Structure 1
Amino acid sequence: MRKVTTGLLAVAVAVGGLSASAVWSNAEAEMQMLRFAEFAPNRGTRAGALQWLDSELRERSDGALGLDIVWGGALLGARDAAQGVSDGVADMASIVPVYAPGRLVVYEAVDTVQLPDEWVGMMAAYELMTTHPAAIEEANSFNLHYFGNYTTGPTQLLSRDKPITSLEDLDGLTLRATGAFVPALEAHGASTVSVSQPKVYEALSNGSIDGSTTYYYVVKAYKQHEIANYITGVDLGQTLAFGIAMNLETYQDLSAEHQALIDELGRDFTLHVAELMHASRTETKAELAAGIDGHAIEMIEPAAGMREALVELAEQDAQRWIDKAGEKDLDADGIRGAFLELIAKYDAEHEAQGYPWDR
């Protein structure tokens, strides 16, 4: 699906009697607009990254390509984004593969490892999705071309009245949690419930939950710091099966030069988001500790071994993904092994050279 502004210009000229020069320059008139479906509103770090992407696409293509971003789920919501791009409702979209069950199982492998570092995780996920034959084949069979990656950043524990300093402190608490964190927390006596982030504030306020698995920027964005008093920095895993896909036919209709541009920009976008998310995490943590509008959160250092124990239990949940992969006759051990090798590769690079933006 493609939207070219030349057609709109022709309508304007025919109906309104306007000259082309009065509406657009020739370069703008020839720009191919790729319709981008974004389920989040036009605010925050990720929105800024998408605006950067649009600007870079226009500049690098000399005005030949641009994005028409439809915000806030007005075109496609999170749950139907992947299918919508596959069907051609949008040319590109932010997608979450778990909302397309059984279609992007290889991509879901990147969530089986409890890895806190944004850059290491995002670059490993990007390389897996752009080089592993099973990942490419699976995406293409769904009429998608993988573009680039996002991340939520590492997961922390927010609590209202009681600081969580050890595994024993989890006993008896009711915590909002999802995915692999559910069995990890329940193994230590916590009860877990599923609550969407926009409703966590109310749940904390009325006492229906004692805390939540969360991210620093989410605490600030949803003003959870107004009602909760503590964050335990457990630095559990991040959601990495979360990125951008392009309709495969749209990609294939591009010139070879523009296909190469898209692929290069996808990697650069992933790196850009990694830098933004790393900065956002460190800066927002400091803001929350210092206090926002008079509401400060105490940062709790977990007891020795607490994080490792939770990670061990959470990673056991990888069996659910292995079973999914088996249902599609995928080489689960090979795919997950390849991802672990990529993590080791980028971790070693970081240890030796630091982050790219600091070099």
Structure 2
Amino acid sequence: MTMNIARRLGACSAALALFAAASASSATAQDLTIASSLPPAHLWVAAHKKPFIEALEAKSNGDISFTAFYAGELTGLGRELDALQNGVVDIVDPLVAPYHEGAFPLSEITQLPTYETDAVMVTRAFQNLLDSDTEIAPGKTFYDYEVGDKGLKAWGIGATAAYSISTTGKELKAPADFEGVPMRAGSALQTIVLDKLGSTPVTMPASQAYEALSRGTIDGIVLAVVDWKSYSMEQLLKYTIEGVSIGQWESYLAMTPQTWERFSPEQQAMIDETARQVSLDAAAQWEEGMDAVRDAALEAGATFVSVTDLDPAMQEHIAKAAQDTWVEWIEKLEGEGHPAKAAAKLYAELIVAEGGVLPDGIGEYLGM
């Protein structure tokens, strides 16, 4: 009798062990909803979201899998944060911070005008900004202020190529040529740039700009040339000033801490490593895609003019607008209680370390 009980207890223990192992395996496996407000053709989706999904599914041997949604199927521009916080989605890629009015006041920082920067340089500088332990406010790093306080775990997703000034045909050769020209801005910071140049900013998502340009509601746009393909603008835009970056957009791959804690430490390390590498790869694709789009536009009759080939008065006008944009953005946000100057100084130091050039006078203004 005692032997039978022992055998039964042994069998039960073995069964429990098998059940526990199976449960642990099941708990490790993750099927996650990952959504974007942008279409599959957009480089933030094609070069970041899709490779991120594919890399993690392969690295995890299927323990992490995704159900992907695109083009606002689950969440639209400016609603990604709500979708995460309300549990509608597990991950958003990208969370386009500038469209969340007031929620991410400092995340436009990569849109500050610079010279001689590319997407990879800005991507490294932005991730270093997120990783920095320098406090920009008492007890707050940039990451704490912009990401952690929103209840998020996030990474940069890879900066766009430099944003340029383009028109449907109007040539911008002298400062007066900007006066009153209605031009699309995609963010508050771009609105400042256009206002300083003398044009009339019209804020709208890039997805609405094609119709506005076609109808003549606006005559120009601030947008990365490589991004024209996403919005079918290669045949539409005819005049572009190159050589000065009207900022380079960054955004976030984001999830809640609750989602992050569902992963094992090994999986967390895998996600972190993958997110960082895919962002750099995506940035490289933004740069690599430039020539093809530019060539298509040239064949359609477009003209590209380097800022260094413009009249000296025009070069000075653009440089002054770039400088004034830094100052106005910083002082506006400081007036609203945000540590914009400390954040801008840290970002400026990081972008200079990458080889970028600040507008004249900005280093002195920031006390660098």
Equivalent position of 2:35 in the other structure: 37
Residue 247 (1) aligns with residue 256 (2): yes
Residues 1:331 and 1:171: Cα distance change in structure 2 (over 3 Å): closer
Alignment of 1:300 with 2:299, yes or no, is no
> Residues 45-84 of structure 1: matches in 2 within 5 Å?
45-49=43-47, 50-84=49-83
For 1:128, the equivalent position in structure 2 comes to: 129
Please state whether the residue corresponding to 2:261 is helix, strand or coil: helix
- Structure index of larger Rg: 2
Check the 8 A contact 1:105/1:325 in 2, yes or no: no
Q: Per-residue CA shift, 1:170-220, capped at 9, x if unaligned?
A: 235332234334344444543332344334333333333322222213333
Gapped regions of structure 2 (runs ≥ 5):
1-24, 134-139, 357-368
Residue equivalent to 1:92: 91
Paired AA for residue 43 in structure 2:
T
Are the aligned partners of 1:92 and 1:245 in contact in 2 as well (CA < 8 Å)?
yes
Q: Which whole-Å CA distance do the structure 1 matches of 2:143 and 2:125 have between them?
A: 15
Distance 1:46 1:52 in 2: 10
Q: Secondary structure at the match of 1:76?
A: coil
Q: Which residue of 2 aligns with 1:355?
A: none
Among residues 129, 135, 140, which one is paired with 2:148 in the alignment? Answer: 140
**Secondary structure in structure 2 of the residue aligned to 1:347:** coil
Question: Contact (CA 8 Å) 2:120, 2:159: kept in 1 or not?
Answer: no
Q: Gapped runs of 5+ residues in structure 1? A: 1-26, 349-359
CA shift, 1:226, in A, is 2.9
TM-score scaled by structure 2? 0.76
- Equivalent-residue separation in structure 1 for 2:70 and 2:169 (angstroms): 36
Shift of residue 122, structure 1, vs aligned partner: 1.1
- 1-side partners of 2:335 and 2:270: how far apart? 35
Measured after TM superposition, the shift of residue 141 of structure 1 is 2.6
Instruction: Give the corresponding residue for 1:339.
Output: 347
Work out the CA distance in 1 between the residues paired with 2:78 and 2:152.
16
**TM-score, L = length of structure 1:** 0.77
2:203 to 169, 185, 194: 194
Supply the distance in 1 between the matched residues of 2:279 and 2:316 (Cα, whole angstroms): 28
Q: Is the 8 A contact 1:149 1:240 kept in 2?
A: no
CA RMSD of aligned residues (A): 2.8
| 3-state SS, counterpart of residue 62 of structure 1 | coil
- Show the counterpart of 1:160: 168
Contact 1:128 1:338 in 2 (8 A): yes
The change in CA–CA distance for 1:86 and 1:123 in structure 2 (over 3 A counts) is farther
* Counterpart contact for 1:86–1:248, Cα < 8 Å: no
| CA 323–194 in structure 1, closer or farther in 2 if over 3 Å, else same | closer
Kindly tell me the number of residue pairs found equivalent between the two proteins: 317
Residues 118, 278 of structure 1: 8 Å contact kept: yes
Per-residue Cα deviation, 1:61-97 (whole angstroms, up to 9, x for no partner): 2221122211111111121102322333222112122
